[in-house]
């Protein structure tokens, strides 16, 4: 194929052309500041409130519970720090997991320097959190539980509804980073018993630089301490001039995702299965990372023995893949997520993450399988370790682990 193939939709997604068209007027003629009282400002404000409804509808929230931010990293920081400061007199203990995004982990590390205590829960071999371990970790001074909805690396979906019920019964606030799940699987804050949820636009075919934080207003009312001060925008929770065009794009992207989600999910599961079956039938010693069923529709994460994943991806020109989270792509250390899952260090250093999306086709998947099989064969021909396996490798059947849809 002449055109590059993009299979890294967990890192970002292209803006939907219809989303971009919706944004253009607010970059040109409708350029008002949403805080201004004149006609230009009023028009911008109406557009913002319309988008707030669109984002809220995607997650089953009240529009008043949506606070716009610059993206998921800010939303995560605002949620964790904001709750820590608001509820520090009640307690100083936070529960999270070893597989969270760095925006969560680094924020917890920062708070520990200020006297807060964090419990980092382990995960099972699939990268899933055990609700019983969450319950066991709760203490009298626990004020917040933060569990990622779906791993941005291996795609495993956590049982948030069960965990949320545990948090609710214990009177502990529950936050989730849901940037990988909104618009891809059904997400409803009430069904999941969520009190705070971090969102971003660029993972759902919207623009970069715009996100949101859902903050529950009732049962329980969630109080959060602002992390920046100024004009008092967004209910005085997040001051700053609103990114009107970005907000408009985010809202419309959510509306589109809501209409396309079910059919697109089914299509991506089919493509993912085709990709996995093609690889495991032709590449021996291929390991599936993550849960075989309870995973994001467009996610496939594998490790291949006797193969350096960085070198392999360099050889796969015109195919955009990653070895893990875009925020840690420059690290040569083993994946923290795979290490937490108990994966061998060699395999944990060499994952390959496929992120399938709306633009991907069957022809692209077949081409990627063929190219990967070709390059793996070439690399193994010069691998002394693989050659030492000799006839043992040749007589071993391919990994037959079945991915059930």
pLDDT at site 394: 52
The band of 405, judged by pLDDT with boundaries at 50, 70 and 90, is: very low
pLDDT at site 31: 95
Both 250 and 308 in one domain: the answer is no
136 domain residue, yes or no: yes
The band of 402, judged by pLDDT with boundaries at 50, 70 and 90, is: very low
293 domain residue, yes or no: yes
Q: What angle do CA 189, 190, 193 make, to 5 degrees?
A: 85
Q: Please count the other Cβ atoms lying within 10 Å of the Cβ belonging to residue 4.
A: 10
Is residue 183 predicted with pLDDT exceeding 90? yes
Q: Point out which residues pair with 196 in neighbouring strands.
A: 175, 215
**How are beta strands 117-121 and 93-97 bridged, if at all?**
parallel
Active site amino acids: 327
Both 135 and 265 in one domain: the answer is no
Q: What is the pLDDT of residues 287-334, one digit of tens each?
A: 999 999 999 999 999 999 999 999 999 999 999 999 976 555 455 689
User: Could you say which of 209, 241, 257 is where a domain stops?
Assistant: 257
Question: What values do phi and psi take at 283, rounded to 5?
Answer: -125, 115
Average pLDDT for residues 108-119, to the nearest whole number?
A: 98
Q: Tell me, what CATH number does 245's domain have?
A: 3.40.640.10
d(CA 82, CA 92): 13
Contact 26, 44 (CB under 8 A): yes
369 domain residue, yes or no: yes
Domain of 231, in residue numbers: 17-257
Average pLDDT for residues 229-251, to the nearest whole number?
A: 95
Both 165 and 201 in one domain: the answer is yes
186 domain residue, yes or no: yes
pLDDT at site 324: 76
Contact 211, 198 (CB under 8 A): yes
pLDDT at site 327: 54
Both 182 and 231 in one domain: the answer is yes
The band of 384, judged by pLDDT with boundaries at 50, 70 and 90, is: confident
Both 214 and 318 in one domain: the answer is no
Tell me which of 4-13, 264-273, 304-313, 389-398 is least confident.
389-398
Three-state DSSP state, 229: coil
Both 31 and 113 in one domain: the answer is yes
Q: How many domains does the chain have?
A: 2
pTM over 0.95: no
Is residue 365 predicted with pLDDT exceeding 50? yes
């Amino acid at each position: 194929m002449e055109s590059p193939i993009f299979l890294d939709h967990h890192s970002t997604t292209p803006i939907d052309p219809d989303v971009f068209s919706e944004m253009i007027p607010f970059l040109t003629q409708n350029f008002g500041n949403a805080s201004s009282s004149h006609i230009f400002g009023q028009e911008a404000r109406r557009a913002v409130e319309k988008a707030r409804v669109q984002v809220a509808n995607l997650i089953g929230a009240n529009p008043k519970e949506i606070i716009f931010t610059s993206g998921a990293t800010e939303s995560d920081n605002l949620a964790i720090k904001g709750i820590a400061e608001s509820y520090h007199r009640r307690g100083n203990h936070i529960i999270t997991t070893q597989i969270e995004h760095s925006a969560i982990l680094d924020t917890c590390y920062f708070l520990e320097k200020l006297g807060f205590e964090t419990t980092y829960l382990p995960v099972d071999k699939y990268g899933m959190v055990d609700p019983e371990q969450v319950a066991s970790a709760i203490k009298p001074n626990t004020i917040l539980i933060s569990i990622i909805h779906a791993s941005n690396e291996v795609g495993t979906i956590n049982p948030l509804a069960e965990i949320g019920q545990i948090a609710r019964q214990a009177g502990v606030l529950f936050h989730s980073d849901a940037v990988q799940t909104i618009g891809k699987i059904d997400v409803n804050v009430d069904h999941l018993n969520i009190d705070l949820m971090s969102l971003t636009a660029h993972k759902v075919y919207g623009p970069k630089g715009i996100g949101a934080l859902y903050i529950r207003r009732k049962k329980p009312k969630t109080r959060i301490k602002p992390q920046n001060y100024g004009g008092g925008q967004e209910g005085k929770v997040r001051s700053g001039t609103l990114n009107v065009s970005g907000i408009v794009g985010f809202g419309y992207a959510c509306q589109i995702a809501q209409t396309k989600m079910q059919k697109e999910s089914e299509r991506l599961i089919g493509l993912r299965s085709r990709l996995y079956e093609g690889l495991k039938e032709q590449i021996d010693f291929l390991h599936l990372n993550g849960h075989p069923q309870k995973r994001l529709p467009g996610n496939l994460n594998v490790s291949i023995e006797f193969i350096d994943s960085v070198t392999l991806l360099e050889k796969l020109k015109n195919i955009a893949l990653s070895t893990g989270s875009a925020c840690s792509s420059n690290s040569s250390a083993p994946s923290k997520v795979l290490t937490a899952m108990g994966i061998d260090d060699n395999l944990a250093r060499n994952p390959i993450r496929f992120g399938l999306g709306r633009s991907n086709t069957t022809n692209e998947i077949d081409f990627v399988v063929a190219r990967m099989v070709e390059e793996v064969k070439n690399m193994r021909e010069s691998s002394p370790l693989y050659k030492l396996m000799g006839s043992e490798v040749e007589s071993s059947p391919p990994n037959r682990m079945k991915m059930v849809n």
